[in-house]
Amino acid sequence: MKHLTIMLKPASSLCNLRCKYCFYADITSLREVSSFGVMKESAMTAVMDHIFIDLDDGDYLTLSFQGGEPMLAGLPFYRNLVQYIAGKKRNIHINYTLQTNGILLDDDWCKFLAKYGFLIGISLDILPESHDAVRVDTAGQGTYEQVLRSISLLKKHHIEHNVLCTLTRQTARHPAKVWAQIKKLDLSYIQFTPCLGDLNSPGSSAYALTPERFFHFYSDLFDLWYRDFATGNYRSIKLFDDLLQLLAKGLVTSCGISGYCQPQIVVEADGSAYPCDFYCLDQFRLGSLVSDSLRTIYEKSAVSPCKVRDLLPELCSACQYRKFCGGGCKRMQRETACMPGDTFCGYQAFLDHALRPLMQIAAGIPG
């Protein structure tokens, strides 16, 4: 029995927003072809054929749609995809997830997403002033209120969803305001994604997180979260949940959290396959799921140069958390942990602060 996750980018890097910190816009600007447009039906069916031919009955498959903005592929694309998969009549357990900026959500979309049990990740940078400064439309206008309306639609249609907040150095200065706004908006599931520096010029970004900001934000947020948790008011913060699962059951529930990459394939709109969302670059292209088997793509992914771990920073050698950190995600270490030569690690400092109460909570989680 296999558990596979395939990330699909059916609208490539196309987007109806112009977010000032978009890591995928940075990556695709370095490719020979920055956008492959919308996935053609012939490519979609060929990709699905090559995925399903290597699956056995009883396997678990997660199809995760991201972008760019994946909803730009259009509702007919998704209807055709789920109908094509249903026509295969295979005993495969399929989960659908979709990450969106929320701008295109309406009742028609929500009826479809609810019918097929999509888990939705919707981007909201929690604080209106933070969100509207960077998550702007093509006219340069903020989109906070539009996203709030879309979250209301998801709730109306009882669609499971979580909020994805890109944690910039600006937002990270205000953990108390962030927590208060989370409670005001009654958000139940929140994932903070570190804002990354540009791939080829990491020091040039005005928004990229720093290890110091990572530590101060998460330490203060943890104290606020723990105070509410202790009184029976639980909200899911992805990093805290990941650590609890790791401590309680030894489960790795997020890619990179233990210093290594989880098996994953990213498929662009033309069928090109890559080993990681952070490295959808020409030099890391694995082949095409339009013409190559899933097994072949996975074998190439396992030995991709982007997954080769560089020497860990000096701080890691004597770190007491190395056994379940392993240096973390190599693409995020500059923003969250440490680089060679650094004398401070944000992740180490956070664990110094939060590990003891996390272990106490984990001890009460059933095995």
Note if the bond before 68 is cis, omega within 30 degrees. yes
* Catalytic residue of the set 277, 292, 342, 352: 277
Please check whether residue 245 is in contact with residue 253, taking contact to mean a CB–CB distance below 8 angstroms: yes
- The C-alpha atoms of residue 312 and residue 297 are separated, in whole angstroms, by 28
Cβ atoms of 270 and 36 within 8 Å: the answer is yes
Tokens standing for 170?
């600006």
Q: Angle between the 107-115 and 75-86 helix axes, to the nearest 10 degrees? A: 20
Looking at residue 136, the DSSP 8-state letter turns out to be B
Cα–Cα dist 239/231, whole Å: 20
Token look-up 């009883």 returns 58
Measured N-to-C along each axis, helices 107-115 and 144-156 cross at an angle, to the nearest 10 degrees, of: 50
Let me know: does 151 contact 120? Beta carbons within 8 Å: no
What is the C-alpha to C-alpha distance for residues 16 and 255, in angstroms, rounded to an integer?
A: 28
Name, in order, each residue with C-beta under 8 angstroms of 278's C-beta and a sequence gap of 6 or more.
Answer: 23, 27, 196, 199, 306, 331
168 burial via Cβ count (<10 Å: 0-12, 13-18, 19+): buried
* Helices 346-362, 211-230: crossing angle, 10 deg rounding: 20
Can you tell me the distance from the alpha carbon of 195 to that of 80, in angstroms, rounded to the nearest whole number? 34
Contact 27, 12 (CB under 8 A): no
Structure tokens belonging to residue 162? 């979580």
Active site annotation includes 241: no
Active site residues: 277
